[in-house]
Amino acid sequence: MKKYYNTLGLLILVVLGCLGQVQISDVQNVVQADDLDKKFIVDNQRLLLVEVNKSKTIVSVVSENSLEPIQEWSHQPLDQRRVYSNKNYDNQPNLLLSGDTLFEVYSQAVYATSIATGELMDTYHLFGSSNVILFVEKIPESDNWLIHYTRDGITYYGIYDYKSHNLTERSIENGTRIGDKQYQLRSEGFVFEDLITGEINSAVTLAPEGYRINYLWDTENYFVWIEDGKGSQFYIDAKHGVRELPCLISHDCKNLYWTDSLIYFNINMGFAFENIVLNSNGCDTLSKSYMEKSGTYFPLYMGTKEMVCYANFGSWYSISHNAIYDAVAKEWKYMDFNNDINFANDQRDFGDRIYIRGEDDVELYGFIATLHEVNSDNFGVMNKKFYGQTDDVSSIIFEKHPTLGSLFVCTRSFKGKSDLWALKSKGSSPQKIKSFTNSMNLGLNYISNEYLFDDKLFYFFNGSVYVTNSDGTTKLIDALQCSPFLFYNGFLYALIQKESQLINFIKINPGTLEIQSKSLGGGFNLDNNVSAVGPLIIGPGFSKSYYFDARLEKLLDIEYFGNKLNIAIEAISKNNVLFLWVF
């Protein structure tokens, strides 16, 4: 198995090994953590688990009782970062598998590597530096990718043939994607562009006044309900496209969902929400019931049956907010999730049961990773708790094995504890397969924002900035929060938060450990999104977007024509900082 090693990575391991021995003499516990992001990929008869950080990739095969690494490599894309998808409530790395080739998506290029040999086969530079890739997905049964990207603050789609390296751009800008079509509201009404073919058509013409557009969405698809102002109503979804509603729905409707034959909607009655089911062939009322709070409709797929769930995203007040509609009995069957948080759209179907992602808010434990097993015979719920996570869960991903009939689960906590589990049969309890550990935190409970300079490791831990080397550990300054470190012009810079949201910058001489601290004002919190890019420390956020310029030693707002911007993704190219503006 061929591997690509990083010299700096080896140096870090050597240094940490020595430092670990020093720390063991001072404290009782050396904590190991998992800092690799994970994604399951189904590959014909295999289930793969891919683990990544900025440049390292590990591919493993998931079996019934083990995890077998088959390949590992490292690339070093400059001035780039991995692209992640926010699918089903978790950020997962944007990875595509075609045969034995794994495509890894970065902000400027896609890297193709063989999982059989570990060799880099091709690099696809889709754009110049003015464009940023937001997401890449494979179009089924073709050699094309659908690319979502941004240029000069405007988002676009395009079709990319990775065999010919040819990009065909689509014309609609900043539209609303529903399935394989992108919709846009124009003066003449709703128009849409087929993202695969490029064909543009009119969806719904609207009256100049009196029309209403209601957007209902989940994390994957948008659902749009339109009153055209001329007496007709329309519904747009990914499965059917544009359909005219055969039954006029009340203006007080808060949520709407239309399957092949049934229309579900609820109306605010003041004291409760009336939940109504209509037969779309004849508009007969099949069911009326009352819910305490408004909910959202999601499809639940049990084998060949598509059922509909009315979910409140985990209310602590009443289990009646989680129900599934029995079309034969023409009534809602309530599901007891034991007041746990549940996300009905994040599911895996096993025919006789569905697994739905959840979380359990347990006093003294925090949020515990949970899966809800829904029995398709009686809609009963068994709650699977992953109590091995002794601190708050930060993510849970799960996937069905293509041949074993088992569900495999990866849980991860905010403190870096990560485990692989298996649910092997209906009604079974979670079985731990493996615990992931790949970095050591020098005997402290949790450290962040590590920066290695020669033999010194600078980091933030539990309210202070420290430096550790073979001579021991030194506390440099107290702080409530600390940004990543930036090395510029011979000094280490970082932003720290003091009491009352006051922000200082610190300037450290890494040779002498002399430290300077200067106030920059305040009124906002440092958060986990702060990053060091080139000579800048950038803090994107909805409360305040700012950057610290080490060349000027000043904190400045990010503005465009006098408007303060909220940014989500940033990178550096020569003397320019590129970023995605969220509005």
Contact 415, 446 (CB under 8 A): yes
| Category of 44 on φ-ψ map: left (φ > 0), alpha (ψ -120 to 50) or beta | left
Q: Are 579 and 107 spatial neighbours (Cβ–Cβ below 8 Å)?
A: no
Count CA within 13 A, CB hemisphere, residue 546.
18
503 DSSP β-pair partners: 497
In angstroms, the CA 195 to CA 166 distance is: 16
DSSP result, 424-445: -STTPPPEEEEEE--EE-TTSS
- Per-residue pLDDT for the chain (583 aa), expressed as one digit of tens each? 333 333 333 332 223 333 333 333 333 344 567 878 999 999 889 999 999 988 889 999 999 889 999 999 988 776 688 998 866 556 789 999 999 999 999 988 999 999 999 999 999 988 877 788 999 999 988 889 999 999 887 899 999 998 888 999 999 998 888 889 999 888 888 899 999 999 999 889 988 888 888 876 554 556 788 889 899 999 998 888 899 999 999 888 888 899 888 999 988 888 888 889 999 999 999 999 887 777 788 888 877 777 888 876 544 343 446 788 988 889 888 887 776 676 777 888 898 899 988 777 665 556 778 888 988 888 888 988 886 555 677 788 999 999 998 999 998 877 677 889 999 999 899 999 988 876 655 544 567 888 888 888 899 887 889 998 877 888 899 888 899 999 999 999 999 988 767 889 999 999 999 999 998 887 677 776 787 877 888 876 555 678 899 999 998 877 665 555 555 555 555 556 666 554 4
Helix, strand, coil distribution of the chain in percent, nearest 5: 5, 55, 40
Q: E strands within 230-337?
A: 233-237, 241-244, 253-258, 262-268, 273-279, 285-291, 296-302, 305-311, 323-326, 331-334
Between CA 401 and CA 170 the distance in angstroms is: 36
**SS3 (DSSP) at 321:** helix
CA dihedral over 245, 249, 251, 254, signed as positive or negative: negative
Residue matched to tokens 């001329």: 230
The owner of tokens 């050699």 is: 143
Contact 112, 123 (CB under 8 A): yes
**What one-letter code names the amino acid at 22?**
V
Q: What is the reported pLDDT for 509?
A: 95
Around Cβ 420, how many Cβ atoms within 10 Å? Answer: 20
In the numeric block, which tokens belong to residue 346? 């994040």
What are the strands, taking DSSP E only, across 363-444?
366-375, 381-385, 393-400, 407-413, 418-423, 431-436, 439-440
Query: Which distant-in-sequence residues (6+ apart) come within 8 Å of 434 by Cβ?
Result: 66, 67, 419, 420
Say if CB 89 and CB 313 are below 8 A apart.
no
Q: 305-311 and 536-539: which strand pairing? A: unpaired
Residue ranges and CATH numbers for the domains of the chain are: 7-169 (2.120.10.30), 191-437 (2.130.10), 441-582 (2.130.10.10)
**Model pLDDT, residue 149:** 93
Sequence-distant (6+) residues with CB within 8 A of 452 are 8, 11, 12, 15, 458
- Listed residue (90, 136, 103, 65) closest to 401, CA to CA: 65
Question: Phi/psi of residue 389, each to 5°?
Answer: -85, 100
Per-residue confidence (pLDDT) for residue 390, from 0 to 100: 54
Rounded (10°) CA dihedral 522, 526, 531, 533 = 0
Report the DSSP beta bridge partners of residue 514.
Answer: none
C-beta of residue 306 within 8 angstroms of C-beta of residue 296: no
Q: In terms of residues, how long is the chain? A: 583
**Three-class DSSP category at 275:** strand
| Distances from the Cα of 4 to the Cα of 9, 36, 98, 125, angstroms | 11, 17, 22, 21
**What gap in Å lies between CA 287 and CA 495, rounded to an integer?**
58
Q: Please tell me whether residue 452 adopts helix, strand or coil conformation.
A: strand
